[in-house]
């Protein structure tokens, strides 16, 4: 047996697990089906990689949406401060931005991916690219190795006493994350919690949605309602594209919204376009704007003073007042209707964008069948899981990368 450990997948979790296992004295083979390591890392954070979040542990863990108790052990062993120290030791300068989000100072996600590859290579990990694992082999409840297709397309097998599955989820499949790990886990008896997209754009059935593509709203308030019950309140950025409603606010809301849509519940987002003003102050502001306008100026010009340009037409339609009507014709009731809409524009949510556009996958390998102190399967000895393949997902803000680093690091601590 040439290698003690085979790691499947050279993403954030796999690179961390492989390098750590090698550092702990194991001979390690890392198999990656793509031509390069860390394809997903390289596109994270809009190409800048928000690698972790510097919030205190308690606040950090609040952002983990599934199986937080399970994750707490891995996080205690290798937390956000350890991640920062790790990359700084690897020579990557970091900086912390708004919301305690940590990025490489260079603004290049590549630096994070390359630092992880360097870590593995320095510790003597053998990396095989264009090598797709096709099955896990076991005997008598113990892992014996993997079957794989090599770069030339030939089926081969490799033996090892331990295998760490770090194949990621199914979001952005073009990066190589196509859910293979779920099949491997299921083939040896693991339960897979149903997978669904998370941190994904939300599709609205708002009648004016086609006018809104390209609109970016900053500093808005938003409330998520499920069956008319308020379930989440957020403040920040919302964007509209052909994929749906996105931006940090919508993505954070998508976790609950997707589950509610799957359960066939009614979902809506109510957007407050003027969160800093109460209704009375906003009405006074509108009166002031009108007083400063010529009586023959159009309603659209009033709206232009209140909201971004692309919102003028949809908003006029929503108020049901023609944009080419004179402002002097606006009645008190219509002004009040405008105030109500500015303070609560309703976007019914009819669907969510597919995995192709989702930042992470919710669901995955059932954590109750994995030892949280080691990441080893409780069903098959020598089989380990780390990263997004597990049923753990978190909010945007650097939390998901940290999940991959913490669980990958813990899996890499496996005993000789």
Binding residues (CB under 6 A) for ligand FAD: these are 8-14, 31-34, 39-41, 43-45, 49-50, 132-133, 166-168, 171-172, 176-177, 180, 359-360, 387-388, 398-401, 404
Give least dist CB 224 to ligand FAD, A: 21
What distance in Å separates the CA atoms of residue 135 and residue 146, rounded to the nearest whole number? 6
CB closer to ligand FAD out of 33 and 268: 33
Give least dist CB 31 to ligand FAD, A: 5
Give least dist CB 378 to ligand FAD, A: 20
Give least dist CB 319 to ligand FAD, A: 36
CB closer to ligand FAD out of 39 and 274: 39
Give least dist CB 124 to ligand FAD, A: 20
Give least dist CB 335 to ligand FAD, A: 42
CB closer to ligand FAD out of 257 and 401: 401
CB closer to ligand FAD out of 30 and 414: 30
What distance in Å separates the CA atoms of residue 151 and residue 154, rounded to the nearest whole number? 8
Of 332, 284, 328, nearest to 306 by C-alpha is: 284
Q: Which long-range contacts (CB under 8 A, 24 or more apart) does 370-377 make?
A: 370/70, 372/69, 372/70, 372/71, 372/73, 372/74, 373/73, 373/410, 374/410, 374/411, 374/413, 374/414, 375/74, 375/164, 375/407, 375/410, 375/411, 376/411, 376/414, 377/185, 377/188, 377/190
CB closer to ligand FAD out of 39 and 209: 39
The three-point CA angle 348-350-351 to 5° equals 135
Task: Write b or e for each residue in 156-167: b if 16 or more Cβ atoms lie within 10 A of its Cβ, otherwise e.
Answer: eebebbbbbbbb
Give least dist CB 101 to ligand FAD, A: 8
Query: How many CB atoms are located within 10 Å of the residue 188 CB?
Result: 16
- φ, ψ for residue 370 (rounded to 5)? -130, 135
CB closer to ligand FAD out of 211 and 385: 385
- Reported in sequence order, the residue ranges of 227-285 that DSSP labels E, i.e. its strands, are 229-241, 244-246, 267-272
CB closer to ligand FAD out of 94 and 273: 94
Give least dist CB 370 to ligand FAD, A: 14
What distance in Å separates the CA atoms of residue 306 and residue 214, rounded to the nearest whole number? 18
CB closer to ligand FAD out of 73 and 135: 135
Q: Is the C-alpha dihedral spanning 246, 252, 258, 260 positive or negative?
A: negative
What distance in Å separates the CA atoms of residue 239 and residue 215, rounded to the nearest whole number? 6
């Amino acid at each position: 047996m040439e290698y003690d450990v085979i790691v499947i997948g050279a993403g954030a979790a796999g690179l961390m697990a492989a390098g750590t296992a090698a550092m702990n004295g194991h001979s390690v083979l890392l198999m990656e089906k793509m031509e390069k390591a860390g394809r997903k890392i390289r596109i994270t954070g809009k190409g800048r990689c928000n690698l972790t979040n510097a919030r205190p542990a308690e606040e950090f863990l609040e952002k983990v949406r599934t199986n937080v108790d399970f994750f707490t052990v891995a996080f205690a062993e290798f937390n956000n401060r350890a991640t920062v120290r790790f990359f700084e030791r690897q020579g990557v300068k970091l900086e912390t931005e708004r919301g305690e989000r940590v990025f490489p100072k260079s603004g290049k996600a590549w630096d994070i991916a390359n630092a992880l590859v360097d870590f593995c290579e320095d510790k003597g990990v053998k990396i095989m690219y264009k090598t797709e694992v096709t099955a896990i082999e076991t005997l008598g409840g113990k892992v014996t190795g993997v079957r794989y297709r090599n770069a030339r397309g030939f089926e081969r097998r490799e033996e090892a006493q331990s295998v760490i599955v770090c194949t990621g989820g199914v979001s952005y499949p073009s990066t190589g994350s196509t859910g293979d790990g779920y099949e491997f886990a299921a083939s040896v008896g693991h339960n897979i919690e149903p997978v669904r997209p998370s941190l994904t754009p939300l599709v609205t059935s708002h009648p004016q949605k086609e006018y809104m593509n390209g609109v970016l709203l900053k500093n808005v308030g938003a409330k998520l309602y499920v069956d008319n019950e308020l379930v989440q309140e957020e403040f920040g950025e919302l964007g509209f594209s052909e994929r749906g409603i996105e931006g940090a606010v919508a993505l954070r809301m998508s976790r609950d919204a997707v589950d509610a849509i799957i359960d066939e519940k009614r979902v809506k987002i109510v957007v407050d376009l003027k969160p800093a003003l109460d209704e009375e102050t906003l009405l006074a502001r509108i009166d002031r704007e009108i007083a400063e306008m010529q009586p023959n100026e159009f309603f659209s010009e009033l709206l232009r003073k209140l909201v971004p340009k692309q919102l003028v037409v949809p908003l006029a339609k929503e108020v049901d007042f023609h944009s080419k009507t004179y402002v002097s014709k606006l009645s008190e009731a219509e002004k009040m209707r405008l105030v109500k809409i500015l303070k609560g524009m309703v976007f019914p949510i009819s669907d969510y964008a597919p995995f192709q556009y989702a930042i992470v996958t919710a669901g995955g390998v059932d954590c109750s069948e994995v030892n949280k102190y080691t990441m080893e399967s409780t069903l098959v000895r020598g089989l380990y899981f780390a990263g997004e393949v597990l049923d753990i997902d978190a909010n945007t803000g650097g939390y998901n990368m940290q999940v991959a680093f913490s669980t990958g690091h813990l899996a890499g601590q496996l005993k000789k």
